[in-house]
């Protein structure tokens, strides 16, 4: 990790830069695959599945029987862990449901808002080197609570054409009916345009590598809503003298192992703590199976000394991390200063992995600084809010004259007339 001590604010912009992938070549690939999928549908899906996943499939859709029998290949212990996580995630997300509230804004003028589920959603589940069955929970549960009528799950097949059994088990546990062994850009393109096998969706969800992220942004340009412009995973940790260096190192590595393009950052008021964290990273890195990936991510990562915790938080707000860990004393005294972060973890025992799997809040979060303007996935992500208003005769008499004046001032006389004609005719 690169060590920086007491950087000036003029340096913050460069320090907040995420690892950059050469975009021109990436977008060229995305555009080629999108074009072919739009023109040739399933034939293009077969072509790119063979090219990128190294397997030829007779059919993309995973049968219900395969989802049921996947349970045999998932240990009882893992099944119990998934069910525990499911319960916590459901509990947290059920509390997000909003009751209708009817408001009288003026005498005779009542307004309210009702939720309507997005009818058809596509959820993308990475399944290559790290099959993220936890993301099935994080996306499937709020979609079901919201009441989405159709959920299409896409995830890449392995070299044998199979989907990881834990992904299938989790999908079946939730009652997701449509599971497709399609991954990468071609999966996003298929759900953008629709094919004979895969339907076009109304909104796309899910994490992925730079290619999937670019594909989702291209889907958005083609009229399909997306959850957020998320990219590679990241964590920022603020650690003071009360932090446990081994814990901090473990959290940094847990994010670094996601991919070489991930970024991890640790800030502290103590040079000693950062030195101890560096040592703990080296001790633990040797034990990480995805050691080469984590080591590559660490080359793009930062270790920064600041004079105060307040300045650490100020830099964090500038960086706007996906995950923020406050491994500091009396952290509750500082939470009000946090403005921009996807999800915040408080204290030495609130490890980021808990949020990834089982504590309850969603792990699908904004990255690359988008925490300034985006929230993580929630039940609200799967619904639209439709407003209603009912105006009585008395209500229009109450607000009508003001509407007429405003419409005339904007020179929109047909707007004025729509009120005036009602008032003149005594309704």
- 259 pLDDT higher than 70: yes
Report the relative pairing of strands 178-180 and 383-391 from DSSP bridges.
unpaired
Whether residue 418 is predicted with pLDDT greater than 90 in this model: the reply is: yes
Select from 156, 150, 127, 123 the least CA-distant residue to 137.
123
Condensed to tens digits (0 to 9), the pLDDT of residues 17-63 reads: 887 766 778 899 999 999 999 999 999 999 999 999 999 999 999 99
pLDDT digits (tens, 9 = 90+) for 338-397: 999 999 999 999 999 999 999 999 999 999 999 999 999 999 999 999 999 999 999 999
Give me the helices (H) in 175-308, please: 184-193, 210-221, 245-256, 271-285, 291-299
Q: Is pLDDT above 60 for 427? A: no
Rounded to an integer, what distance in angstroms lies between the CA atom of residue 427 and that of residue 417?
Answer: 13
Where does the pLDDT of residue 153 fall: very low under 50, low under 70, confident under 90, or very high at 90 and above? very high
Mean pLDDT computed over 263-276: 96
- 309: tokens are 């915790």
In which band, very low, low, confident or very high, does the pLDDT at 202 lie, cut at 50, 70 and 90? very high
358, 362, 363, 369 alpha-carbon torsion, rounded to 10°: -150
Residues 6+ apart with CB under 8 A from 329: 240, 241, 242
Owner of token pair 């607000």: 399
Distance CA 396, CA 126 (A): 54
What average pLDDT does the chain have? Answer: 95
Residue 231 has pLDDT above 80, yes or no: no
Residue 124 has pLDDT above 70, yes or no: yes
Q: What are the residues facing 5 on neighbouring strands?
A: 305
Share of the chain above pLDDT 70, in %: 99
Residue 6 banded pLDDT, cuts 50, 70, 90: very high
Residue 412: φ, ψ to 5°:
-110, 80
pLDDT digits (tens, 9 = 90+) for 295-317: 999 998 999 999 999 999 999 99
pLDDT of res. 21 = 66
Q: What is the reported pLDDT for 65?
A: 93
Domains of the chain with bracketed CATH: 23-100+117-226 (3.40.50.1980), 231-375 (3.40.50.1980), 393-424 (no CATH)
- Residue 113 makes CB contacts below 8 A (sequence gap 6+) with 100, 101, 385, 386, 387, 388
- Kindly list the catalytic residues: 322-323
The set of residues, in sequence order, having a beta carbon less than 8 Å from that of 18 and lying 6+ positions away, is 231, 232, 234, 263, 367, 368, 369
Q: Distance between CA atoms of 331 and 19, rounded to whole angstroms?
A: 30
95-119: per-residue pLDDT in tens?
999 999 999 999 999 999 999 999 9
Label residue 130 by pLDDT band (50, 70, 90).
confident
pLDDT for 425 equals 85
For residue 286, what are its two tokens?
């040797």
The Cα 278–Cα 133 span in angstroms is: 31
Helix (H, G, I), strand (E, B) or coil at 376: coil
> Is the pLDDT reported for residue 244 higher than 80?
yes
Q: HSE-up of 352 (CA within 13 Å, CB side)?
A: 31
Q: What is the pLDDT of residue 25?
A: 84
């Amino acid at each position: 990790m690169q060590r920086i001590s007491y950087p000036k604010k003029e340096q913050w912009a460069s320090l907040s830069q995420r690892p950059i992938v050469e975009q021109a070549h990436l977008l060229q690939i995305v555009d080629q695959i999108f074009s072919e999928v739009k023109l040739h549908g399933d034939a293009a899906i077969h072509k790119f599945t063979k090219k990128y996943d190294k397997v030829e499939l007779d059919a993309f859709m995973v049968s219900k029987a395969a989802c049921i029998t996947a349970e045999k290949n998932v240990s009882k212990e893992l099944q119990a862990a998934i069910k525990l996580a499911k319960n916590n995630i459901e509990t947290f997300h059920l509390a997000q449901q909003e009751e209708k509230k009817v408001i009288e804004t003026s005498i005779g003028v009542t307004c309210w808002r009702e939720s309507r589920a997005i009818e058809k959603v596509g959820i993308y589940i990475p399944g290559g080197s790290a099959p993220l069955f936890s993301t099935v929970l994080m996306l499937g549960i709020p979609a079901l609570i919201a009441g989405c009528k159709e959920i299409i799950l896409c995830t890449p097949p392995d070299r044998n054409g199979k989907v990881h059994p834990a992904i299938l088990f989790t999908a079946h546990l939730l009652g997701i009916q449509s599971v497709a062994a399609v991954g990468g850009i071609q999966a996003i393109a298929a759900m953008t345009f629709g094919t004979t096998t895969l339907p076009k969706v109304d909104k796309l969800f899910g994490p992925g590598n730079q290619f999937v992220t670019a594909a989702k942004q291209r889907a958005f340009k083609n009229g399909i809503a997306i959850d957020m412009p998320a990219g590679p995973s990241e964590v920022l940790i603020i650690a003071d003298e009360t932090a446990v260096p081994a814990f901090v190192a473990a959290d940094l590595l847990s994010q670094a192992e996601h991919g070489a393009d991930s970024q991890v950052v640790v800030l502290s008021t103590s040079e000693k703590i950062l030195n101890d964290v560096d040592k703990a990273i080296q001790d633990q890195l040797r034990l990480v199976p995805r050691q080469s990936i984590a080591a590559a991510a660490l080359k793009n990562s930062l270790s920064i000394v600041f004079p105060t915790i307040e300045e650490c938080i100020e830099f964090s707000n500038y960086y706007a991390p996906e995950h923020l860990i406050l491994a500091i004393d009396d952290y509750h005294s500082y939470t009000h200063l946090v403005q921009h972060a996807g999800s915040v973890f408080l204290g030495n025992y609130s490890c980021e992995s808990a949020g990834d799997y089982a504590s309850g809040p969603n792990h699908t979060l904004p990255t690359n600084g988008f925490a300034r303007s985006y929230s993580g996935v929630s039940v609200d992500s799967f619904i639209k809010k439709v407003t209603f208003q009912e105006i009585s005769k008395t209500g229009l008499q109450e607000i009508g004259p003001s509407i007429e004046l405003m419409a005339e001032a904007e020179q929109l006389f047909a707007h004025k007339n729509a009120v005036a004609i009602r008032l003149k005719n005594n309704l």
